[in-house]
């Protein structure tokens, strides 16, 4: 990236207007610039034909539009899932996943290079934490897929979104703008391991985003064993925050529960889980653990999966068993690690 020029990708409308004003131009041209970058996908100023020649020349001298670069792409032979390996300007790598389903096409976005939270069942934890993504790097994942008929966005890729809060919210603001991608907020879900202050803060934004909480255990002892974050934000605080979010936004919470063989898939765990979510407007999304070479855990037996699901419903408001997509290309839940040797197939 040319450090002597300002990268406009990731700037919101107000920042683009400020930039143009500093160039000695009219602020209202910022709306045109915003639309060219985020709605029309322009990557060069010559394309922006409704801007004057003089302004385009000034922009070429002072600014650039530089996003992430596609490094590798894998397609699942099982279900058509696509996993992208992106190279960033500092040569770090991230992944995002395009997930087809009946009548839906969901883009799963990353928010950090690696992750600092150390969840024991997640391959991204083995990467460690490298850095937060910029707003431009987050938005760029969407812009690269904007030619597809996307129906949903989920922040469930690499990293913890609520630990990169400012860049997350700035990116979402760009994504939902009617001058840009114009993506409906109700079609966007933010997933968190349970960063309680971030949940409260997100509830106050007025965006009515979907919220998915990675729960994975029905008591503090087991949850702390597999998710160290529980030591800082135990279940009583997390569930209280979840209830606050549902009340504030009118959106029901999705509790993600990864079933790990012999660890959290017992009928006793199902009974505890049904008790702790009582009174919270929610649905429970059950996910079979997806094994990875760096993990010692096992997938659950199908009989236990069925028994767990059947006990929960109708004791929980809604229960779904999510079929993991992209397992053959290590693109399923918990498998992302941005490793180039995963792309040999």
Half-sphere exposure of 106 (CA within 13 A, CB side): 19
95: annotated active-site residue: yes
- Check if the beta carbon of residue 9 is closer than 8 Å to that of residue 30: no
| Residue 108 among the catalytic residues | no
What tokens appear for 198 in the block? 């971030």
Q: What are phi and psi of 295, to 5 degrees?
A: -125, 145
Residues whose CB is less than 8 angstroms from the CB of residue 87 and which lie 6 or more positions away in sequence, other chains included = 68, 69, 70, 71, 93
What is the distance between the alpha carbons of residues 78 and 89, in angstroms, rounded to a whole number? 33
DSSP letter (8 states) at residue 253: E
Contacts of 111 (CB under 8 A, 6+ apart): 132, 133, 138, 155, 157, 158, 159, 160, 161, 164, 167, 168
Catalytic residue, chosen from 17, 95, 137, 256, is 95
Which residue is listed with tokens 């839906």?
A: 104
Cα gap 134→164, rounded to integer Å? 9
Candidate list 108, 115, 122, 333, residue with the active-site label? 333
Q: What is the DSSP string of 117-179?
A: S--TT-GGGGG-EEEEPPHHHHHHHHHTTTTS---EEEE-SSS-GGGSHHHHHHHHHHHH-TT
Q: Which of 13, 8, 12, 15 is nearest to 58 (CA)?
A: 8
Catalytic residue set: 95, 333
């Amino acid at each position: 990236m040319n450090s002597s020029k300002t990268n406009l990708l990731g700037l919101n409308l107000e920042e683009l207007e400020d930039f143009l004003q500093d160039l000695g131009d009219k602020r209202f041209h910022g709306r045109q610039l915003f639309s060219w970058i985020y709605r029309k996908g322009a990557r060069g100023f010559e394309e922006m034909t409704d801007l004057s020649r003089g302004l385009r020349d000034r922009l070429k001298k002072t600014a650039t539009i530089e996003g992430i670069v596609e490094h590798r792409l894998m397609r699942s032979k099982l279900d058509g899932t696509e996993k992208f390996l992106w190279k960033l300007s500092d040569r770090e790598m991230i992944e995002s996943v395009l997930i087809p389903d009946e009548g839906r096409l969901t883009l799963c976005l990353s928010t950090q290079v690696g992750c600092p939270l150390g969840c024991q069942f997640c391959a991204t934890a083995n990467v460690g934490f490298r850095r937060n993504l910029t707003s431009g790097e987050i938005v760029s994942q969407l812009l690269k897929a904007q030619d597809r008929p996307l129906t949903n966005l989920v922040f469930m890729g690499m990293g913890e979104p609520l630990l990169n809060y400012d860049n997350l919210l700035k990116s979402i603001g760009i994504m939902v703008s009617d001058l840009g991608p114009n993506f409906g907020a109700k079609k966007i879900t933010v997933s968190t391991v349970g960063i309680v202050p971030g949940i409260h803060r997100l509830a106050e934004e007025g965006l009515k985003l979907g919220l998915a909480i990675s729960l994975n255990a029905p008591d503090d002892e087991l949850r702390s064993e597999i998710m160290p974050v529980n030591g800082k934000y135990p279940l009583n605080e997390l569930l209280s925050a979840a209830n606050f979010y549902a009340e504030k936004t009118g959106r029901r919470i999705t509790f993600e529960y990864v079933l790990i063989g012999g660890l959290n898939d017992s009928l006793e765990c199902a009974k505890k889980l049904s008790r702790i979510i009582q009174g919270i407007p929610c649905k429970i999304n059950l996910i079979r653990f997806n094994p990875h070479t760096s993990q010692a855990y096992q997938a659950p037996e199908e009989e236990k999966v069925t028994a767990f699901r059947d006990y929960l419903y109708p004791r929980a408001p809604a229960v779904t068993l999510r079929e993991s997509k992209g397992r053959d290309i290590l693109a399923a839940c918990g498998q992302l690690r941005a490793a180039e040797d995963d792309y040999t197939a």
